[in-house]
Structure 1
Amino acid sequence: MTTPTPPLRPSPLAEQAAERIGQQIRTAVWPVGARLPGEVALAKELGVGRSTVREALRTLAAAGMVRSRQGAGVFVTADRPAEDWPARLRRAELVHVYEVRTMVEVEAARLAALRRTAADVAAVDAALEARRAAGAGGDAEFVDADIALHAAIVAAAHNPVLDDLFAQFAPVLREHLVALVAVFELRAMDRDHGLAAHAELVEAVREGDAERAGRVLAAELEATRARLLTE
């Protein structure tokens, strides 16, 4: 049984309705697994029309808090909105990002070595040269060039899902890596930090050596992950 609530203010009603229903869910008036009252009952309780209730429920469904079951009604599936992937990545520790990055990029490097085209090789070679040139610039410029090289290798794998995953990682990686380079002073003695390993990776992709490409990149990423764990 729900507690009576005052009618909503006449300004974005659907948004207010979604917030009110969400509040009832968060306070376990309607706990996870419960079926919500029907549209008519909700509309009467909130003092709005059924169309406003439907829009509010669509908002909550998009947030992962409710789900409609054909012929059964609308059920509570979570007591808070689902956090989207980019937000979760931004909140993650860099060492955890690196663990997942290794899983994604090592396989992408192997696939790139097997699937690369002449155009892919040219793009990867150009990205390596750009990374080398960025060694003379600032940390942000250097990190951008490094990420661009990795993106070119992922693109050479010709897997759109890998492309999308890396695109989600890239902004978070950039933010963390700019800070990482500065804190660890990675370029203090070597402005082209990691150039030899990246050149070997590009050579392995160019030559179609999938095992070597995966091995080189795995070693490079693991070295950074290990440093994050010990510093």
Structure 2
Amino acid sequence: MVHVPLRRSPLVDQAADLLRARITAGEWPVGTRLPGETTLARDLGVGRSTVREAVRALAGAGLLESRQGSGVYVLALEPVTSWDVKLRQASVADVFEVRTLLEVEAARLAATRRDDADLAVLESALAARKAAASADDPAFVDADIALHTAVVAAAHNPVLTGLFHTFVPRLRAGLLDLLRMVPLREETPDHGHTGHAALVKAIRARDDDLAAHVMHEEVQRTLALVRSARTRPGDGA
């Protein structure tokens, strides 16, 4: 392989780009150790300090790992994309598919683990969602998400709760887009109230199978609307 010295600046960025290209091309498989700084500096036509900074940049991207006393090793062939970036780039349908997985199990757990305090929050959130029928779309969506958040919280699983919270911004944006494309609230301003009331009732009764079923039906119904809206002419499908 011919190694072309770098001529443009900034040298660190160029060195990182060239190292990244060689890594993604498979020159150094995952788990292997990179050549030493002196060798890389000679190959790239830069100083050792530039190589050191380039390696640090690629380590931050998740491609490399520096192990004290051992060297620099390849961790991945492609940069690691942050979870927040992935969510922002994901389609609404993809988010709702994963939402189904999370919330169905959350509803099942909530029905078995809820306590009196959880029930009070759920009843209050259900009433607030009903009251938001007279509000604008953003307020209604916020009330809807608050109820779903209460269901997840009643599952008493901090990992599940934290994961759901990462979905909320993308979820909120997706629901607002849906309401702009499909006027669901024109005929029924409190759209979905019957299903949500049934969900809270199932959780109150500790009927985990029914709670999971109702949640599955509710989220799948919304997912179907999302898919339908995205395939309509003029809706940016």
Give the TM-score taking structure 1 as reference length.
0.83
Q: Structure 1 residues 17, 133: CA separation in 2 closer, same or farther (over 3 Å shift)?
A: farther
Decide whether the 8 Å contact of 2:184 with 2:191 is kept in 1: yes
Match of 1:22 in 2: 20
Decide whether the 8 Å contact of 1:30 with 1:36 is kept in 2: no
Decide whether the 8 Å contact of 1:8 with 1:47 is kept in 2: no
Match of 2:87 in 1: 89
Match of 1:189 in 2: 187
In 2, the alpha carbon distance for the partners of 1:29 and 1:162 equals 37
Deviation at 1:172, TM superposition (A): 0.9
SS in 1 for 2:134: coil
5+ residue gaps in structure 2? Answer: 230-237
Deviation at 1:200, TM superposition (A): 1.3
1:99 to 97, 100, 118: 97
In 1, the alpha carbon distance for the partners of 2:149 and 2:86 equals 21
- Is 1:201 aligned to 2:199, yes or no? yes
- How many residues matched? 226
Match of 1:169 in 2: 167
Match of 2:63 in 1: 65
Letter in 1 for 2:138: A
Q: Structure 1 residues 93, 176: CA separation in 2 closer, same or farther (over 3 Å shift)?
A: same
Deviation at 1:23, TM superposition (A): 4.4
2:222 to 218, 221, 224: 224
Match of 1:77 in 2: 76
Letter in 1 for 2:59: A
Match of 1:158 in 2: 156
Deviation at 1:230, TM superposition (A): 4.2
Decide whether the 8 Å contact of 2:152 with 2:160 is kept in 1: yes
Match of 1:40 in 2: 38
5+ residue gaps in structure 1? Answer: none
Decide whether the 8 Å contact of 1:67 with 1:77 is kept in 2: no
Q: Percent same amino acid among aligned pairs?
A: 45
2:141 to 130, 140, 143: 143
Q: Which moved more, 1:212-221 or 1:83-92?
A: 83-92
Letter in 2 for 1:77: A
Decide whether the 8 Å contact of 2:64 with 2:72 is kept in 1: no
2:118 to 107, 111, 120: 120
In 1, the alpha carbon distance for the partners of 2:92 and 2:143 equals 19
C-alpha root-mean-square deviation of aligned residues, in Å?
Answer: 2.7
In 2, the alpha carbon distance for the partners of 1:23 and 1:2 equals 13
Matches within 5 A, 1:1-12: 1-6=1-6, 9=9
In 2, the alpha carbon distance for the partners of 1:189 and 1:118 equals 35
In 1, the alpha carbon distance for the partners of 2:55 and 2:83 equals 22
Letter in 2 for 1:75: V
Deviation at 1:122, TM superposition (A): 1.6
In 1, the alpha carbon distance for the partners of 2:191 and 2:182 equals 12
SS in 1 for 2:189: coil
SS in 1 for 2:73: strand
Q: Structure 1 residues 97, 169: CA separation in 2 closer, same or farther (over 3 Å shift)?
A: same
- Is 1:214 aligned to 2:212, yes or no? yes
Decide whether the 8 Å contact of 1:8 with 1:17 is kept in 2: no
Deviation at 1:175, TM superposition (A): 0.7
In 2, the alpha carbon distance for the partners of 1:105 and 1:29 equals 40
Deviation at 1:157, TM superposition (A): 0.6
Give the TM-score taking structure 2 as reference length.
0.81
Q: Structure 1 residues 73, 91: CA separation in 2 closer, same or farther (over 3 Å shift)?
A: closer
Deviation at 1:211, TM superposition (A): 1.4
